[in-house]
A and B are shown apart, each in its own frame.
Chain A
Amino acid sequence: MERLVIEQTKATPQIDFDADLGLLSIKGQSYPENAFKFYEPVLKWLDQFFQVTEVEKLITVEFGMPYINTSSSKCIMMLLEKLEEADKAGKKVVVNWYYDEENDCELECAEEFKEFVDLTFNIISFKS
């Protein structure tokens, strides 16, 4: 399956989903004009990926999102729900969520997403 790469802009994160490696990465802040339009192809790629990939595939999802506005948060929720479904269906999904150790708000945001879903969800701090 073709790798999905979207370049980072000021208001949209870099997307790099590599189907072969099972490594999906979202990095950068997210507050586009139309979040649903931005995330639609991302969510579609995921649906297709889960259909074509073998059942017990290990999938690592890396989030490094210093800021997410509310409409993007909705989209991230939808994405996490898709991951949760796939995990329930037998795939092994691991979420690694990175946050700046000096920013409690980022940690709080990560914890809230973690509470929403039943997934292996590691919250990892880094020094900026």
Chain B
Amino acid sequence: MDKKIINVQNMLVDNQVLICFSGRFSQGIIEELGEAIKKHMENEDTPKNDIFNVFSIFIEQTQNIKNYSAAKTNSSIYEVVNNSSIVCIGKTDGGYFIWSGNKIGNSDIEPLRAKLDLVSGLTKDELKKLYREQIKKNIEPDSLGAGIGLIDIARKATLPVEYSFDTIDDCVSFYQIKVTV
């Protein structure tokens, strides 16, 4: 065999990744991975607050990706988007990180960037205020759900939320977000 899976593994280790899943997200996969992360941290005697925060950010990030795919069901980029998801959970000296990415339509970049710029520029108190406003709002039937999830993620993050968009072609770009707790 020419290709060595140990090279893939080494790359994960180099990036301090503990658990990684790449491929199409389903609710079942999200649940299994989420429970696995919890178990892993419990075995490491991680404080309950940290487990809670890592788990919540993991759920919000992966469900955002899944909801985005679902919203693109009738779009020409659906297949490309749906198969492009990845999530990694890792640990550095600074804490745990949840790092995920997926392809998104180029026209969806600016609204998402605006939301990310907004939440990452706010203090914890301002985020709390925004969260309270948003959770009381009536639900829009066509909502992708990403709005309040990102506020919640930013509230729980201990370091500034990192994100970027890299152009792939005329239709899609790769969006990534990394959150440290």
Contact = CB atoms under 8 A, between A and B. Distances in A.
Interface of A: 10-11, 31-33, 36, 66-67, 69-71, 73-74, 77, 100, 102-106, 112, 116
B31 A103 contact: no
Contact of B152 (A70, A77, A100, A102): A70
11 contacts: A11-B27, A70-B135, A70-B149, A70-B151, A71-B148, A73-B148, A77-B135, A77-B136, A103-B52, A105-B52, A105-B56
B52 A70 contact: no
A67 B145 contact: no
A74 B131 CA distance: 11
A19 B135 CA distance: 28
B60 A69 contact: yes
A97 to B, nearest CB: 16
Interface of B: 27, 31, 34-35, 47-49, 52-53, 55-56, 59-60, 63, 66, 132, 135-136, 139, 145, 148-149, 151-152
Nearest to A105: B52
B140 to A, nearest CB: 11
Nearest to A113: B135
B35 A105 contact: no
Nearest to B35: A10
B59 A31 contact: yes
A74 B148 contact: yes
Given A11-B27, A70-B148, A105 B53 contact: yes
Contacts of A36: 139
A67 B135 contact: no
A67 B56 contact: yes
A73 B139 CA distance: 12
Given A36-B139, A73-B135, A74-B148, A67 B63 contact: no
Contact of B52 (A32, A67, A74, A77): A67
A36 B139 CA distance: 10
A69 B136 contact: no
B59 A69 contact: yes
Nearest to B64: A70
